[in-house]
Amino acid sequence: MSDAVASGLDRAQVVDLYGWLCLARAAEERLELLQKQGHVSGSIYRSLGQEAGAVGAAYALRRRADGTGDFLAQTVRACGALFLFGGSLEDFFRQYTARGTSPTKGREANVHWEDYEKGFVGPVSPLGTMLEVMAGITLSFRLRGEDRVGMVFYGDGASSTGAWHEGLNFAAVQRCPLILMVEHNQWAFSTPTHKNTRVSSFTEKAPGYGIGAESVDGTDVLAVYEAVSRAAERARAGGGAQMVELRYFRRRGHAQHDPQDYVDPAVIAEWEKKDPLDQYRARLIREGWAAPGELDRSWDEAVEACRRAAEVAVSEPAPHGPDAVHDVYTDVILPRPWTRAFTPDPRNPLPDLP
Ligand SMILES: Cc1ncc(C[n+]2csc(CCOP(=O)(O)OP(=O)(O)O)c2C)c(N)n1
Ligand SMILES: [Mg+2]
């Protein structure tokens, strides 16, 4: 790109990236307000200090709304990636406030929802298992010769599960075009990473699976964008599964109910100095890519968009009790793009796919 100013991105794009960072932070700040007002049904899992990992990674993928783009499996701390893939702010707030209008109709109260056309699928709760699911989805991309990659986020603690290892090995052996983002935020609830693994960087595990890996400063949105762009290029070119480790710190407790009193406050203070929004804003101004007023406007717009979306969500009805029994069991099977072979049952004709 001839008018690129950094990392192959042009001026409008580097400013756009800042807007997405603002949106991730503003959405979570609005959630905290909603919780204080009594609107949030479950807990809130902040990604404070981790926003650049989710945003930079998703920005490097092909996001389309017609079911032909790349595919994301987000975690609760990767809401920035979810927004980039087209998960709407309204749906985000509807989920947390368990509205009857939410994608899960009030059954679930954070980012556990999916949209196959936009290309994202929220996590099932047992940690590690989405790696197996995404290995299957991306295997179908390879078998069909589709030019698509998948991306799955998981924290450092999730790497201690059997599903994580099994899924990663399968993805590696099957050369699935899958990028594993390791959110190395140094804590898994109250367990520090050194009690979860003997290695100091998760990239040390990659040779054991025979996959490519990079470790990157997860507070630097452009560095993340570059690392994931490289990983996606390798995966698209037939290089198989890739790992990208995001190095950063969980600056809040596991969730709002966790006072984080097992973490040294001085360490948290050190990481506050590496705030991804502050760092990136300073760089945009220093390099002359954006004026302070322009960036202030990005923040204000993000706050206003979140305020409006939250207002819509809380004005909507709670779930209608009897609906709880709907959408639980079905005898109609909908083939999905990754369904390998499917023989329709003549007794049970299939509806057309939406
Ligand atoms: C198999 C399994 N064990 C335990 C849990 C409960 N649990 C949910 S999140 C979490 C901590 C995860 O830590 P990490 O993977 O580092 O992600 P982070 O919260 O730091 O983003 C735990 C223990 C679970 N969901 N699944
Ligand atoms: Mg963690």
- 165 is a domain residue: yes
Question: How large is the average pLDDT for residues 169-174?
Answer: 98
Judge whether residue 342 has pLDDT over 80: no
- 145 is a domain residue: yes
Using only C-alpha atoms, the chain has a radius of gyration, in whole angstroms, of 20
Instruction: Give 123 Cα–ligand 2 centroid separation in angstroms.
Output: 15
What is the tally of structural domains in the chain?
Answer: 1
With a CB cutoff of 8 Å and minimum separation 6, the contacts of 192 are 186
pLDDT, tens only, 2-23: 589 999 999 999 999 999 999 9
Say what the pLDDT of residue 248 is.
98
Which residue segment(s) compose the domain that 172 sits in?
4-325
pTM greater than the 0.85 cutoff: yes
To test the pocket of ligand 1, the residue of 156, 189, 191, 260 to mutate (highest count of ligand atoms within 8 Å of its CB) is 189
Instruction: Please provide the average confidence, as pLDDT, over all residues in the chain.
Output: 94
- 336 is a domain residue: no
Question: How large is the average pLDDT for residues 236-247?
Answer: 97
Instruction: Give 92 Cα–ligand 1 centroid separation in angstroms.
Output: 21
To test the pocket of ligand 1, the residue of 44, 111, 127, 159 to mutate (highest count of ligand atoms within 8 Å of its CB) is 127
DSSP E strands: which ranges in the chain?
4-6, 9-10, 71-73, 114-115, 120-121, 150-155, 178-184, 187-188, 191-192, 212-217, 242-247
Lowest mean pLDDT among 120-124, 212-216, 336-340: 336-340
Q: Using N-to-C axis directions, what is the helix angle for 276-286 and 221-234, rounded to 10°?
A: 100
Say what the pLDDT of residue 337 is.
62
Question: How large is the average pLDDT for residues 300-309?
Answer: 98
- 161 is a domain residue: yes
- 330 is a domain residue: no
- 346 is a domain residue: no
Banded model confidence at residue 279, pLDDT cuts 50, 70, 90: very high
- 201 is a domain residue: yes
For residue 316, give the CATH number of its domain: 3.40.50.970
Lowest mean pLDDT among 69-78, 91-100, 277-286, 320-329: 320-329
Instruction: Give 217 Cα–ligand 2 centroid separation in angstroms.
Output: 15
Atom of ligand 1 lying closest to residue 185 CA = 20
Instruction: Give 126 Cα–ligand 2 centroid separation in angstroms.
Output: 15
Atom of ligand 1 lying closest to residue 183 CA = 21
Say what the pLDDT of residue 3 is.
87
- 83 is a domain residue: yes
